Amino acid sequence: MIALQNIDLAFIGFGEAAGAFVRGWGAARPRHVLAYDVKVDSGSDAVRAAKWQDYRRLQIDGCESLAKALAGSGVIFSLVTADQALTAARQAAAHIEPGALYLDGNSCSPGTKQQASELIERAAGRYVDVAIMAPVHPALHRVPLLVSGPRTESALGVLGALNMCAAVVDGPVGAASSVKMVRSILVKGLEALVAECVLAGRRAGVDERVLDSLEATFPGFQWKERAAYMLERIIVHGVRRAAEMREVARTVEELGLPAPMSHAAAQWQAKVGQMGLAAGSGDYRTRADAISRTLSTPGRETEGGATNEYDDIPGTYVFDAEHSRKGYELNMFCMSLNHESNRQAFRADEVSYLRRFALSEEQRAAVVRRDWNEMLRLGGNIYYTAKLAAADGLTFQDLAAKMTGMEREEYRKMMLAGGRPIAGNRSKSEWHHG
């Protein structure tokens, strides 16, 4: 049995899950607990101050750099957002102590976990796929965990010493995450469906009758109470849960299946989470009405409350004033690649170079993954993002082909033949009419 006092532990990412674990351990915590969270590098004074306050409140040794947090740490919990998990592993690989146990508790696809495992194992670390199978509140450190991969025996020893509740899923790295990802199709997908159902019911004035009917069909589910809870989860955690649902969709697609439901759930979760609403206290009606007031139909609501008719054009992100504000730092990063010295610095260490700019976590992940369409959604200007493509050695035709999901020659032939067919590409409303 591993002695608790012999564990030196570090957190990469110190949010809800990490805080819950520390509160659960109480005084029976490892002898040294350090943490590094990217929010200490934020361009916002308030964000940085809030994170340092988190450390002080829970009596954690917060670190200004990942290298400092990992120095001497034999056990590492990676608990970042899903879209940052691979970046966190790549950074950790540069600083991890030989033999350190890397417990990757992020909600990622098996493929993402396997990529992270390769990075950590090449750096002489010991990687463990960890799936957190329930909300960390109220269970705290006793939340059910699944672990998989060749290092599970070592993981069970450490997790047992930490009084955590873990079970093994037989199989390689990714087996534990497969359980969580497939489960999330229903769990987070149901949240999105309930949100749409309740909002539509409120606008139609039939929400109570609908939920009472569902209670009769599925007795004991407590639909009104569950609806309130699910809306709270989307309001408070929608952005993070959307990132997880994109990993769920990736999991489904890795299995050779289409994932339209998971992609749609991710869009709903992100849309509500980005509203920045307060969940407040109250029943489902209060939360549903707060969301409904913020939405506009069709299209989306701008900061001034107006609706942009061009938002109904499929696959189009018009670079308007709102997009310009949202994408300013992203576009400044792309513009910086005009200079060869900056291109060299970026190629040498993408993650460190990106820290020069106050990018959102979503924007940073989109750049690292070269998700060109996502960059546009997040405020990128095509003429600026093309500079990043050029730095990668891509022509504009290469870039356009990637954005349409085609090979270059296939894209060239389509354009020579007259481009995309007009049917179905003029308005999203056409999708509802065949």
Within a domain: residue 24?
A: yes
Query: What was the pLDDT predicted at 6?
Result: 79
Query: What was the pLDDT predicted at 415?
Result: 86
Query: What was the pLDDT predicted at 376?
Result: 92
Q: Please report, for the domain that includes residue 268, its CATH number.
A: 1.10.1040.10
Side-chain-side CA neighbours of residue 106 (13 Å): 35
* Segment 321-335 mean pLDDT: 85
Listed residues 267, 295, 323: the one ending a domain: 295
Q: Are residues 24 and 164 in the same domain?
A: yes
* Segment 242-251 mean pLDDT: 91
* Segment 407-430 mean pLDDT: 73
| Cα 47 to the center of its chain, rounded Å | 19
Report if pTM > 0.75: no
Query: What was the pLDDT predicted at 427?
Result: 60
pLDDT in tens, 1-60: 677 777 999 999 999 999 999 999 998 999 899 999 999 988 888 889 999 999 999 999
What is the SS3 assignment for 177? helix
Listed residues 295, 330, 351: the one ending a domain: 295
Query: What was the pLDDT predicted at 428?
Result: 56
Query: What was the pLDDT predicted at 433?
Result: 42
Q: Are residues 342 and 379 in the same domain?
A: yes
Query: What was the pLDDT predicted at 97?
Result: 97
pLDDT in tens, 162-204: 999 999 999 999 999 999 999 999 999 999 999 999 999 999 9
pLDDT band at 278 (very low <50, low <70, confident <90, very high): confident
Query: Which residues does residue 132 pair with via DSSP β-bridges, in sequence order?
Result: 145
Within a domain: residue 301?
A: no
Q: Please report, for the domain that includes residue 130, its CATH number.
A: 3.40.50.720
Q: Let me know: does 364 contact 343? Beta carbons within 8 Å.
A: no
Minimum mean pLDDT among 122-136, 254-268, 314-328: which range? 314-328
Q: Please report, for the domain that includes residue 372, its CATH number.
A: 1.10.700.10
Question: Above 80 in pLDDT, residue 313?
Answer: no
Question: Above 60 in pLDDT, residue 300?
Answer: no
Q: Are residues 15 and 156 in the same domain?
A: yes
Q: Let me know: does 36 contact 68? Beta carbons within 8 Å.
A: yes
User: What phi and psi values does residue 405 have, to the nearest 5 degrees?
Assistant: 75, 25
* Segment 93-100 mean pLDDT: 97
Q: Let me know: does 163 contact 25? Beta carbons within 8 Å.
A: yes
pLDDT band at 310 (very low <50, low <70, confident <90, very high): low
Query: What was the pLDDT predicted at 425?
Result: 61
Angle, CA 186 vertex, CA 180 and CA 192 arms, to 5°: 120
Within a domain: residue 306?
A: no
Task: Report d(CA 18, CA 23) in Å as an integer.
Answer: 9
Q: Are residues 135 and 215 in the same domain?
A: no
Q: Are residues 29 and 117 in the same domain?
A: yes
Within a domain: residue 303?
A: no
Query: What was the pLDDT predicted at 4?
Result: 76
Residues 6+ apart with CB under 8 A from 150: 172, 173
Task: Report d(CA 103, CA 12) in Å as an integer.
Answer: 10
Task: Report d(CA 410, CA 245) in Å as an integer.
Answer: 30
Within a domain: residue 387?
A: yes
Range of the domain at 101: 4-171
Q: Are residues 102 and 190 in the same domain?
A: no
* Segment 76-93 mean pLDDT: 93
Residues 6+ apart with CB under 8 A from 128: 101, 102, 103, 104, 147, 148, 149, 151, 152, 154, 155, 173
Cα radius of gyration rounded to whole Å, the chain: 23
Task: Report d(CA 140, CA 24) in Å as an integer.
Answer: 5
Q: Are residues 324 and 388 in the same domain?
A: yes
Q: Are residues 225 and 107 in the same domain?
A: no
pLDDT band at 422 (very low <50, low <70, confident <90, very high): low
Nearest to 11 by CA among 123, 132, 92, 99: 92
Q: Are residues 11 and 87 in the same domain?
A: yes
Mean pLDDT of the chain: 89
Within a domain: residue 304?
A: no
pLDDT in tens, 356-414: 888 888 899 999 999 998 999 899 999 999 999 999 999 989 998 888 878 888 888 88
Within a domain: residue 300?
A: no
Provide DSSP, 189-248. Answer: HHHHHHHHHHHHHHHHT-HHHHHHHHHHHSTTS-HHHHHHHHHHHHHHHHHHHHHHHHHH
Listed residues 127, 148, 171: the one ending a domain: 171
Q: Are residues 19 and 139 in the same domain?
A: yes
Within a domain: residue 8?
A: yes
Give the dihedral of Cα atoms 294, 300, 304, 308; nearest 10 deg.
Answer: -160
Number of domains comprising the chain: 3
pLDDT band at 315 (very low <50, low <70, confident <90, very high): low
Nearest to 13 by CA among 116, 103, 123: 103
Q: Are residues 48 and 138 in the same domain?
A: yes
Q: Are residues 247 and 318 in the same domain?
A: no
DSSP state, 259? -
* Segment 77-91 mean pLDDT: 92
